[in-house]
């Protein structure tokens, strides 16, 4: 009777941080961050950080959040699984904004003193620092992650930085003070609200030329802006406590929604169905329903929320492929001797450069009294072991070994791949392979 005998099986479970959408707000006054269950619209955890936290960025894997503490020139590293501050990074004068590279390896630190720092998160060292402008206080990356657009508050300009070459490539001058920035989802435009004595405007920058192609009037002094996925809408918060809905195609204001006291930040949810504002003066977040253009609910958070971010949960497992040298694909002759097996394994992952590879199991389709493998270290990245060149002769197909490996990324996503090795019934079987 044919059946597979499992020699060993290691159950490796995915260690996902969250099973649903979460938000994080930075609360400047009480110096905390709030973790918010977006489905329940409720705070689940409050974590203390450093002095006067201004901004935050979430690692692409969703495991860590980095919080810029302008009051003590540090960055708090919060492990979202343990809910603890696990590291503190000393930085330059008054860190005002943070971003992170798409691969999660480099932290970009904007300093109000006029610099952009590059910090290596793998080796935990500073790479370099460049001058970017006068009083920079906000930063956004393009959709590819190649360029950063930086608001220079009192420099009345936007600086474009090539993040690969670590240099300023352009400075775009506005009529007056910029207040936030967002990049269109096709990566062709950057929208920057600004204001001065004669009015408030959205400045539209062409990313191909880094030149302003138009200015469009909006109501009241703007504080922040976001693009809405799968939509032509932009949402701009202002000092009047409103969220202005601007149509970026027809370039006019659709409506304004009251959201709360002193909204200073706004983000869109990835599905484009909702947006969230951080209301500094009313200590809450307002959730905007994009379809109906109404404020659907408000979520109380800590005192003085200045930024809000979506926790991007990595749910994609690594890619794994296995191959064998030709002389190891079929074991012949069946003399009972051990043959060395050396699989070639290739692994890749969208955000983790080094997924963990493990030998999970070696299986055989025949009942056997002899041990049919040797030197196999299960649960490790073992690519050098032995299989016995043996078969019972009772089946026409011979003995089939199944070797299974897994690849697991830093978010706990796991992929499995199995390869077969044949000990054929007779020599004629080999000729047909």
pLDDT at 7 over 50: no
- Predicted local distance difference test score (pLDDT) of residue 13: 34
Kindly write down the DSSP assignment for every residue of 200-251, as one continuous string: EEEEEEETTTTEEEEEEEESS-EEEEEEPTTSSEEEEEETTSEEEEEETTTT
pLDDT at 2 over 70: no
- Of all residues in the chain, what percent carry a pLDDT higher than 90? 83
Over residues 217-248, the pLDDT tens digits come to 999 999 999 999 999 999 999 999 999 999 99
- Predicted local distance difference test score (pLDDT) of residue 17: 45
Over residues 77-104, the pLDDT tens digits come to 999 989 999 999 999 999 999 999 998 9
- Residues carrying CATH 2.130.10.10, the chain: 22-310
Q: So what's the architecture of 22-310 in CATH?
A: 7 Propeller (2.130)
- Predicted local distance difference test score (pLDDT) of residue 430: 63
Position of tokens 């062709």?
188
- Predicted local distance difference test score (pLDDT) of residue 224: 97
Residue 243 has which token pair? 């969220």
- Predicted local distance difference test score (pLDDT) of residue 410: 74
Extended strands (E) in 112-166? 115-120, 125-131, 136-141, 147-152, 157-162
Kind plus residue range of the DSSP H or E element containing 339:
strand 338-341
- Residues carrying CATH 2.60.40, the chain: 5-14+316-432
- Predicted local distance difference test score (pLDDT) of residue 3: 38
Q: What is the CA radius of gyration of the chain?
A: 28
Q: Which three-class secondary structure state does DSSP give residue 42?
A: strand
- Select from 165, 50, 70 the least CA-distant residue to 110: 70
Distance CA 98, CA 114 (A): 14
Under the banding of pLDDT at 50, 70 and 90, the label for residue 21 is confident
Under the banding of pLDDT at 50, 70 and 90, the label for residue 334 is very high
In 89-171, where does DSSP find H-type helix? none
Give the C-alpha distances (Å, rounded to integers) separating 48 from 27, 33, 180, 401.
9, 7, 26, 54
Position of tokens 């500073």?
126
Question: Which range among 15-24, 193-202, 248-257, 282-291 shows the weakest confidence by mean pLDDT?
Answer: 15-24
Over residues 382-419, the pLDDT tens digits come to 999 999 999 998 888 899 999 999 999 877 889 999 99
**Domain 5-14+316-432 in CATH 2.60.40:** yes
Distance CA 247, CA 250 (A): 6
- Predicted local distance difference test score (pLDDT) of residue 354: 86
Please check whether residue 267 is in contact with residue 293, taking contact to mean a CB–CB distance below 8 angstroms.
no
């Amino acid at each position: 009777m044919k059946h597979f005998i499992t020699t060993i099986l290691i159950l490796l479970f995915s260690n996902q941080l969250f099973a649903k959408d979460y938000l994080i707000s930075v609360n400047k006054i009480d110096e905390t961050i709030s973790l918010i269950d977006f489905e329940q619209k409720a705070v689940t955890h409050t974590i203390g950080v450093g002095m006067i936290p201004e901004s935050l960025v979430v690692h692409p894997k969703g495991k860590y959040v980095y919080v810029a503490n302008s009051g003590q020139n540090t960055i708090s590293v919060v492990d979202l699984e343990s809910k603890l501050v696990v590291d503190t990074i000393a930085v330059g004068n008054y860190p005002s904004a943070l971003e992170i590279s798409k691969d999660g390896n480099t932290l970009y630190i904007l300093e109000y003193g006029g610099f952009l720092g590059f910090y290596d998160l793998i080796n935990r060292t500073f790479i370099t620092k460049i001058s970017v402008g006068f009083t920079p206080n906000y930063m956004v990356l393009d959709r590819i992650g190649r360029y950063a657009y930086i608001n220079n508050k009192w420099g009345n300009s936007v600086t474009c930085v090539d993040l690969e070459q670590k240099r300023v490539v352009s400075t775009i001058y506005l009529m007056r003070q910029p207040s936030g920035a967002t990049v269109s989802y096709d990566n062709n435009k950057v929208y920057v609200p600004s204001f001065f004595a004669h009015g408030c405007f959205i400045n539209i920058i062409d990313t191909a030329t880094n030149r302003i192609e138009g200015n469009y009037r909006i109501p009241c002094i703007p504080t922040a802006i976001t693009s809405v996925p799968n939509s032509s809408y932009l949402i701009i918060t202002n000092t009047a406590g409103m969220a202005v809905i601007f149509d970026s195609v027809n370039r006019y204001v659709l409506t304004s929604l009251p959201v709360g006291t002193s909204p200073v930040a706004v983000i869109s949810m990835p599905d484009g169905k909702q947006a969230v504002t951080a209301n500094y003066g009313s200590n809450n977040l307002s959730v905007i329903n994009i379809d109906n253009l109404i404020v659907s609910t408000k979520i109380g958070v800590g005192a003085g929320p200045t930024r809000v971010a979506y926790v991007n949960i990595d749910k994609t497992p690594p890619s794994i492929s296995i191959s064998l040298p030709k002389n190891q694909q079929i074991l012949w002759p069946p003399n009972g001797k051990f043959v060395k097996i050396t699989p070639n394994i290739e692994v890749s992952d969208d955000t983790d450069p080094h997924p963990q590879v493990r030998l999970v199991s070696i299986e055989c389709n025949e009942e056997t009294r002899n041990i049919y493998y040797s030197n196999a270290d299960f649960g490790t990245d073992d690519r050098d072991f032995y299989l016995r060149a043996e078969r019972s002769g009772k089946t026409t197909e011979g003995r089939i070994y199944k070797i299974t490996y897994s690849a697991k990324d830093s978010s706990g996503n796991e992929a499995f791949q199995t390869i077969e090795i044949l000990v054929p019934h007779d020599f004629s079987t080999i000729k047909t392979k």
